[in-house]
Structure 1
Amino acid sequence: MTTIRNHDADEPARLRTAMVDELRGDPITSEAVADAMTAVPRHLFAPEVSLQEAYESNTAVPVKRDGDGLTLSSLSAPHLQATMLEQAAIRSGMNVLEIGSMGYNAALLQELVGPAGHVTSVDIDPDIVERARTGLTQAGYERVDVILADAEHGVPASAPYDRIIVTFDSPDIPPAWLKQLTGDGRLVVPLRMKGITRSIAFDRDGAGLISRSYRLCRFVPVQGQGAHDRRRLTLDTGVYLTVEDSDEAGFDVTALRQALHEPTSNAWPGAVFDMPDELELFLLTNSPRMALLHASQERIDGGLLTAATRLGVPALIAHDGSFAYRIKRASQDSDTGFECGVIAHGPSAADVAEQYGQLLLRWAENFRRRDAASIRYLPAQADTPPEPELGGVVRKRHGSIAVSWPPNSGTAGGTPA
């Protein structure tokens, strides 16, 4: 249902200016992105919500749901859209492909590429395509081409592209996207690996891609040929692991189920708790025996697992089914006010807790900063990347993701979450 709005003509402009002012510094760092977001009337692309809600910097607008209430399409929050636009570093005159259309982001892209550039936006859902076209027409951005197609194949008719920006959770990078990217092009994609998703800005690097930045993000899942359900190993009612296909065979589910109900072992190695998104990426990519552990609120309230598992926490899994995961507590000795600890289950709980604690210390002492990891993508036809000395390789259907952690003597604190 469309919300009836009564507002003066200047109110949308005031709200856009306030939104941009709030986003300046983080994530908006360029005048080009600030100007684009000041110019585009976002509320025309979000008729379901109030004018004020359309311009809330951290609010996404759900647009379409399935029969179970799962969001299939949404207009992303301005904060996330600004983040990805800054990652893309779009310049005037570029040819840009947006994969996943809602109209508003395509309008921002048109502002950035200017009259000499071109924007193509593709989506698999005819309702979303029609919605995007309507919004773009109402907002005056009729030069954007909105295409109905499966994004797995890109849009070859308008290729090659200087920039490709993907606006859904993608389990892999289809060959067509690489093929349609220019030799010095950049791909910004919310890439799923080890159960988590990061918006990664990739540049060309030989046969593959190398990251220039990555940021925490959350998107609706891909539809169409590229769709791939998350793999789950159920350990008990309301308790499961999220795993990659290649990980599943290495975990003894029977042993894990037994360990889940055994007495626990706690350890506090003295590692600061900070930047949980960076810490999460480090933990998941530094052992092939790491997986995300989830528990329902009911199992947490019942004391089976702690609150750290509600949204998923990296768990280190021993061969005998013992496992450990990260917890935190307030600490006056930490410069963030919090420290990391470990809780472990199973017959070798003390040993696996110690191993986990060493990883926490290693991150806190050497990699506690933004963009500490280097993420490389190699397509399947290229040589399989070797396991890095510090990091790991995640194998996908179309290629492999190698995450490494180059040494750096500098560290930078963040804000605990």
Structure 2
Amino acid sequence: MIDDTEPDELRVSMVDAVLAAGHRLPPAVERALRAVPRHLFVPDAPLADAYANRSITIKPGPPGGRPASCISVPTVVAMMLAQLDPRPGERGLEIGAGTGYNAALLDHCVGTTGQVTTVDIHPDVTDHACRALAATGHDRVRVVTGDGAHGHPDNAPYDWIIVTVGPWDLPPAWSDQLAPGGRLVVPLTWRGQTRSVAFVKQDNSVLRAQDSRLCGFIPMIGDDQHGERVIALADDVALHHDPDQPFDPDRLRGVLDRPSTTVWSGASIVPMESTDLIWPLLTGLGPGTCRFAAAQAAVDAGLADPAFAYSSPALAEGDSLAYLTLRRPAPDTAERRFELGAIGHGPAGAHLAERLCAGIRAWDHDRTAQPVITAYPAGTPDDDLADGQIVDKQHTRLVITA
């Protein structure tokens, strides 16, 4: 039998772990995390799992695929709510109801004078969310079954919109339903990496962000979701890129068989030190940024040596590419530092490796610097865009300014 105090103690430990991980929380968000009983939103999970820093599936996906719905990792929930900073009296929309836990946290933050609406495409997911929200005293939340790409115009305009699934693009409905000055927090993928981006709607309906954080989410399904493209470079090695990048698969296949050049940047990291801001910075410095992914079998066979096997930033151009690598210290070295560099293949491989290292050095100069991310409606003329690298999606023209 569960001791009545045990969930409370586990919840305290969960929030303390979030704070210890370096997340700075607005007071309202911290109070919500300490108050809302997370375990009641995943009643089939063991109590310890409900408060562990892990996601829990509530709706499985296809065999061998990702879940269709889950409750997100507490640190990611806290990170996105901190970016959003929901306040008393605000009206907000959540895309992706999940278990209802996130909506309950939002409801706690906006209070009785605010209003939260949450939308999900799966009827069984919204049923679960309704039951959990009612059971925990958050039945003021409006739960809607529908395609989140269309938002929910009935309750617009919103002071904020938060997206807890992984969209490929920014549907026009989200900007249209957001009040001027409103906030949109969304896990958006471009050039191979997914980041939670905190946009603010400008007077001209353009969305602008100066803060993005590394994350990962279940891909959104529904209207107008078009994912990245994949080029098989060799067995167990692939390049992931955006549809607007004019890469020729025939020219890149077999590129790893071509002569290689390794360039070292002079910048180094210690174990567990993050390099995630290198990636968005690279997307603002040139058009060829993408994701290099190698299975462990390919690494063990010496076919590739990426810094992070499944997900390392890369630059591709024509029949050449370069990807991030690490120089590992000798086993008997007292100081465990790893130098960052790039391995290039193909005729322009050395040039691309030098460019990648230039991006690493720019990051090393200020490891907290982030590019500005501006989202314009598709069809906006080039002359009306900010300076920077353009990422063209179906509904959106992203401009990344490093």
Please report the TM-score for the alignment, with normalisation by the length of structure 1: 0.89
1:7 aligns with 2:8: no
1:213 aligns with 211
Q: Against the structure 1 CA distance between its residues 251 and 134, is the aligned structure 2 distance closer, same or farther, given a 3 Å change threshold? A: same
| 1:297 paired residue number | 296
Residue in 2 that maps onto 1:342: 342
Q: CA deviation at 1:218?
A: 0.7
Structure 2: tracts of 5 or more residues without a match = none
1:243 pairs with one of 241, 244, 253: 241
8 Å CA contact 1:203, 1:212 repeated in 2: no
Q: 2:144 aligns with which of 147, 158, 177?
A: 147
**Superposition deviation, residue 381 in structure 1:** 4.6
- CA displacement at 1:27 relative to structure 2: 1.7
Matched ranges for 1:391-410 at <5 A: 391-405=388-402
Q: RMSD value over aligned CA atoms? A: 2.2
Please state whether the residue corresponding to 2:285 is helix, strand or coil: coil
The answer for the alignment partner of 1:176 in structure 2 is 173
Asked if the contact 1:378/1:385 (under 8 Å) is kept, the reply is no
Out of 256, 262, 271, the residue aligned to residue 260 of structure 1 is 256
Report the Cα distance in structure 1 between the residues aligned to 2:158 and 2:336, rounded to whole angstroms.
43
Q: How does 1:94-173 map to 2 (within 5 A)?
A: 94-102=90-98, 103-173=100-170
Q: CA deviation at 1:243?
A: 1.0
Q: What residue in structure 1 maps to residue 220 of structure 2?
A: 222
Q: Are 2:370 and 1:359 equivalent residues in the alignment? A: no
Distance 2:168 2:260 in 1: 34
CA distance in structure 2 between the partners assigned to 1:359 and 1:141 by the alignment: 47
Determine the C-alpha separation between the residues in 2 that align with 1:223 and 1:29: 30
Instruction: Kindly state the Cα deviation for residue 237 of structure 1 after the two structures are TM-superposed.
Output: 2.2
Work out the CA distance in 1 between the residues paired with 2:303 and 2:328: 22
* Aligned residue in 2 for 1:42: 38
Shift, 1:307, TM fit: 4.3
Rounded to whole Å, the distance in 2 between the matches of 1:94 and 1:121 is 14
How far is the alpha carbon of 1:251 from its aligned partner?
A: 2.3
**Which of residues 29, 44, 48 in structure 2 aligns to 1:52?**
48
Measure, in 2, the Cα distance between the counterparts of 1:35 and 1:175: 33
CA distance in 2, matches of 1:34, 1:309: 33
Task: Tell me if structure 2 keeps the 8 A contact 1:267–1:343.
Answer: yes
Structure 1 letter corresponding to 2:342: V
Cα pair distance change 1:92/1:348, threshold 3 Å: closer
- Could you give the per-residue CA deviations for residues 261-306 of structure 1, whole angstroms, max 9, x where no partner exists? 1232212131234631101211233221222111122211111011
* Alpha-carbon separation, structure 2, partners of 1:147 and 1:88: 21
Shift of 1:337: 2.6
Moved over 6 A (4+): 385-388
**Aligned partner letter, 2:284:** T
TM-score scaled by length of structure 2: 0.92
What amino acid is aligned across from residue 297 of structure 2 in structure 1? E
Give 1:63's aligned residue. 58
1:385·1:402 contact (CA, 8 Å) conserved in 2?
Answer: no
Q: How does 1:78-93 map to 2 (within 5 A)?
A: 78-93=74-89
- What does the per-residue CA deviation read over 1:336-382, in whole Å, with 9 as the maximum and x for residues that have no partner? 933211212223433332233223223322x4215x21111111254
SS at match of 1:276: coil
Contact 1:208–1:377 (CA<8 Å) still a contact in 2?
A: yes
Q: Does 1:21 align with 2:31?
A: no
Match of 1:409 in 2: none
SS at match of 1:308: coil
Shift in Å, 1:29: 2.4
Which residues in structure 2 correspond to 1:184-223 (within 5 Å)? 184-205=181-202, 206-223=204-221
* 1:347–1:310 Cα change, 3 Å: same
State the alpha-carbon separation in 2 of the partners of residues 145 and 111 from structure 1: 14
**Equivalent residues of 2:10, 2:51 under 8 A apart:** yes
- The number of residues matched between the two structures is 393
Give the Cα–Cα distance (whole angstroms) in 2 for the partners of residues 388 and 144 of structure 1.
38
Mapped to 2, the partners of 1:253 and 1:118 lie a distance apart of: 49
Report if aligned partners of 1:122, 1:151 keep a CA contact under 8 Å in 2: yes
Deviations 1:94-140 (A, max 9, x none): 11111100200000011000011111111000010001011111111
CA distance in 2, matches of 1:252, 1:387: 27
Task: Please give the alpha-carbon distance, in whole angstroms, between the structure 1 residues aligned to 2:207 and 2:385.
Answer: 17
Rounded to whole Å, the distance in 2 between the matches of 1:307 and 1:46 is 37
Taking the aligned partners of 1:165 and 1:81, their CA distance within structure 2 comes to 11
- After TM superposition, give the deviation of residue 258 of structure 1 in Å: 3.5
Deviations 1:189-233 (A, max 9, x none): 111111211111111122311114211111000011132232111
Q: Distance in 1 between matches of 2:336 and 2:363?
A: 15
Per-residue displacement from partner, 1:32-74 (whole Å, max 9, x unpaired)? 1111111111001112321111011x21112222222321111
Aligned identity (percent) is 38
